[in-house]
Structure 1
Amino acid sequence: MSKESENLADGLFVPDEERNPLRNAVQRGARPELPKRFYQSAGVGEAEGGYAVLLDGRTVKTPARRILTTPSSPLTSALAEEWGAQGERLNPTYMPLTRLINSAIDGVADRLEEVAADVAKYAGSDLVSYRAEEPAGLAAAQAAAWDPLLAFARERLGADLTVTSGVMFVAQAPEATAAVAEAVRAYAGRGAEAPFRLAALHAMTTLTGSCLIALAVALGEMDAEAAWAAAHVDEDHQIKAWGADDEAMERRARRFAEMKAAARIIEFFSGAA
């Protein structure tokens, strides 16, 4: 691998605002050119802190220039598979697992408490607490998908959350939100796995708008497909009534790929993978 190739590996996932050529191309209305694939093989090797992705035998770095390493050999193998599956051009859109691991290493590892608090705050206005009064079909669909999640929160987390109709804010009891916050911290744990667990939990929470849905997946209450369906009850009701928009469905598919990547991380650290 040449020095130029190493720099490409380092910079591939740098945010757009730090990549002037890419940002400028977008501002001009041009389609930015993806970098060429610069390696033949993608594999896994031992490294400090666990296992690293190797491209032609050399380590890959995150946008913050940290080595792309996880404490799980199977997880790192899955990352290597993403790199190996790339074509002539490297497209981060099709590397959701790598993007999420980058976030864990660069954005979560140094701020575990802050990220855990960000997840837990969703309990104060969780998706599943806000119900429609009509139409009756939507109200019934919400109840079918979300009532079990409220029961899960009550029975497994010790969090009895209030439900309201409409969009008016309802304050949750402090003891309920505290119980959810404790469940988030307990799931994340400490040690080498914590940043990865928490990054996955945070991703699922923001993708679904519900920390209860994310915790249900993390604690084995439901799988990613069921969780995704629960998060899209309202949208699916609208699709049935008015039809689907192609662009919206493409965005949804990309987001579901991110959801599945987060769920895979949870599986790797639960021993289910």
Structure 2
Amino acid sequence: MSHIPPLDPNVAARKGFRESEERLKRFWKAVDVAEGQGGWTVQLDGRAPKTPAHAPLTLPTEAAARLVADEWAAQGEFIDPATMPATRLASTAIDRVSQAREAVADEIAAYAGSDAICYYADAPGSLVEMQARGWEPWREWADDVLGVKLDPATGVIHHAQDPAAIARVRELALELDDFTLTGLAMSVPLFGSAVLGLALQRGDLTGEAAFDLSRLDEHFQESQWGVDEENAARTALRRAEADILDRWFRALA
């Protein structure tokens, strides 16, 4: 996956934005956005900040630009990239996804070949029933709305899907602009599901709902054995990522 942008926002921060901005002191007072050629640009004291590749931080909608601008406005004495996920998404879209659209679409489509909502547990029956109730409507949605028909399977052994379905997911990904494609490239691995990622991107699922559907197995195990602090903290971080992506897609719509 070295040929495409990091899909984990934390990895993106370490490898991209953080390299150029870590411990940089805040150098601006006023934050705003301005419409110009090519979209809406974030303004720091009237000047546009740059991406790690030194491109202007310009986004396609005012709402998306304001989402990024709010992160800059919220910075304290030093810039903290960990608190700027929308800025990382925008920078990744501008610097990297725009240059690797085909590869990113390939990666997204590959998830359709082993989509998490297609793999049911062998047992117990209560978990299988929970999975069927949660996932079957979204496989039907994918078939009806997207033209992506995926077959369910039982167990963890790989079940090959129709190549036409995988090709259709790739086609859907390539129809998106760079910024939306970047959000999808982050969402799909977070959920382990191209279907849930596309449902979030299109506004048919919220980030919270998509995340909950992606972790039905974990939720069932927690209901049986409880939750430890380490897993709870990891889940909270992933849930926050899903919420960020939800706001990202809505701002781009």
Shared fold per TM-score greater than 0.5: yes
Q: Deviation at 1:37? A: 2.7
- Aligned residue number for residue 4 of structure 2: none
Runs of 4+ in 1 over 3 A off after TM superposition: 16-20, 33-36
| Secondary structure in 2 matching 1:222 | coil
For residues 231 and 30 of structure 2, the distance between their equivalents in structure 1, rounded to whole angstroms, comes to 35
For residues 136 and 58 of structure 2, the distance between their equivalents in structure 1, rounded to whole angstroms, comes to 39
Candidates 112, 122, 125, aligned match of 1:123: 112
Q: Deviation at 1:231? A: 0.8
- Aligned residue number for residue 51 of structure 1: 40
- Aligned residue number for residue 15 of structure 2: 15
| Secondary structure in 1 matching 2:69 | helix
Residues 13 and 63, structure 1, Cα contact 8 Å, conserved in 2: no
Candidates 177, 191, 197, aligned match of 2:166: 177
For residues 77 and 17 of structure 1, the distance between their equivalents in structure 2, rounded to whole angstroms, comes to 19
Candidates 252, 256, 265, aligned match of 2:235: 252
TM-score by length of 2: 0.87
- Aligned residue number for residue 9 of structure 1: none
CA pair 263-171 structure 1, distance change in 2 beyond 3 A: same
For residues 43 and 237 of structure 2, the distance between their equivalents in structure 1, rounded to whole angstroms, comes to 26
Q: Deviation at 1:149? A: 1.1
For residues 13 and 193 of structure 2, the distance between their equivalents in structure 1, rounded to whole angstroms, comes to 27
Q: Which runs of 5+ in 2 are unaligned?
A: 1-11
- Aligned residue number for residue 221 of structure 1: 204
Deviations 1:19-70 (A, max 9, x none): 49x9xxxxxxxxxx84433322221123442121122222111111111111
For residues 249 and 38 of structure 1, the distance between their equivalents in structure 2, rounded to whole angstroms, comes to 37
Do structure 1's residue 200 and structure 2's residue 183 form an aligned pair?
A: yes
Letter in 2 for 1:49: G
Deviations 1:162-219 (A, max 9, x none): 2111110111112222232233333x1xxxxx00110011111011110100111222
Q: Deviation at 1:84? A: 0.8
Q: Which has the higher contact order (CA 8 A, sep 6+)?
A: 2
Structure 1 stretch displaced more, 103-112 or 204-213: 103-112
Q: Which runs of 5+ in 1 are unaligned?
A: 1-11, 23-32, 189-193
CA pair 35-248 structure 1, distance change in 2 beyond 3 A: farther
Residues 62 and 106, structure 1, Cα contact 8 Å, conserved in 2: yes
For residues 40 and 51 of structure 1, the distance between their equivalents in structure 2, rounded to whole angstroms, comes to 19
Task: Report how many aligned residue pairs link the two structures.
Answer: 242
**RMSD across aligned C-alpha pairs, in angstroms?**
2.4
Do structure 1's residue 107 and structure 2's residue 122 form an aligned pair?
A: no
Candidates 117, 122, 129, aligned match of 1:140: 129
Letter in 2 for 1:157: L
- Aligned residue number for residue 36 of structure 1: 25
- Aligned residue number for residue 252 of structure 2: 269
Identity percentage over the alignment?
A: 38
For residues 247 and 56 of structure 1, the distance between their equivalents in structure 2, rounded to whole angstroms, comes to 42
TM-score by length of 1: 0.81
Structure 1 stretch displaced more, 68-77 or 239-248: 239-248
Structure (1 or 2) with the larger CA radius of gyration = 1
Letter in 2 for 1:244: V
- Aligned residue number for residue 58 of structure 2: 69
Structure 1 stretch displaced more, 205-214 or 219-228: 219-228
